């Protein structure tokens, strides 16, 4: 059963970039809400080396039918060569909140 609501997550390299991205997705009505979490520590392999960096996570709550446009928006504006963009279904929640989530993305 497909989800009607999702969380789209990405990470960026600064709090300022995270706030800018969060604001822009809400202004574009691609997300009803975007939360900035961080700093977090990310450990990953890049160019054959294990890297450790501080990042900020941006969690965007949106209607599932807006996820593709949101993913495209994030990929175009992201500064990373291979940005993290992960879509996670919301399988339950407050009906009033989920209705608000949809109405704010129209």
Residue spans of the domains in the chain: they are 5-103
pLDDT classification of 57: cutoffs 50, 70, 90: very high
Q: Are the C-beta atoms of 5 and 52 separated by less than 8 Å?
A: no
Q: Which fold has domain 5-103?
A: Alpha-Beta Plaits (3.30.70)
The number of angstroms, rounded, from the C-alpha of 49 to the middle of its chain's C-alpha atoms is 26
pLDDT classification of 18: cutoffs 50, 70, 90: very high
Q: Which two tokens stand for residue 56?
A: 């900020």
pLDDT classification of 1: cutoffs 50, 70, 90: low
Of 90, 103, 94, the residue nearest 8 (C-alpha): 90
pLDDT classification of 3: cutoffs 50, 70, 90: confident
> Which tens digit of pLDDT belongs to each residue from 21-51?
999 999 999 999 999 999 999 999 999 999 9
Q: Are the C-beta atoms of 64 and 4 separated by less than 8 Å?
A: yes
Helix 15-27 × helix 67-77 angle, to 10°: 140
> What is the pTM (predicted TM-score) of this model?
0.94
Q: Residues 99, 6, 40, 80: is their CA dihedral positive or negative?
A: negative
d(CA 6, CA 50): 30
Q: Is the pLDDT of residue 53 over 60?
A: yes
């Amino acid at each position: 059963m497909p989800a009607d609501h999702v969380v789209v997550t990405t990470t960026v390299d600064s709090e300022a970039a995270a706030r800018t991205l969060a604001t822009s997705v809400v202004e574009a009505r691609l997300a009803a809400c975007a939360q900035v979490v961080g700093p977090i520590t990310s450990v990953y392999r890049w160019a054959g080396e294990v890297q450790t960096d501080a990042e900020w996570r941006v969690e965007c709550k949106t209607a599932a039918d807006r996820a593709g446009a949101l993913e495209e928006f994030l990929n175009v504006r992201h500064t990373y060569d291979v940005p993290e963009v992960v879509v996670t279904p919301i399988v339950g929640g407050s009906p009033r909140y989920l209705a608000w989530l949809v109405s704010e993305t129209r």
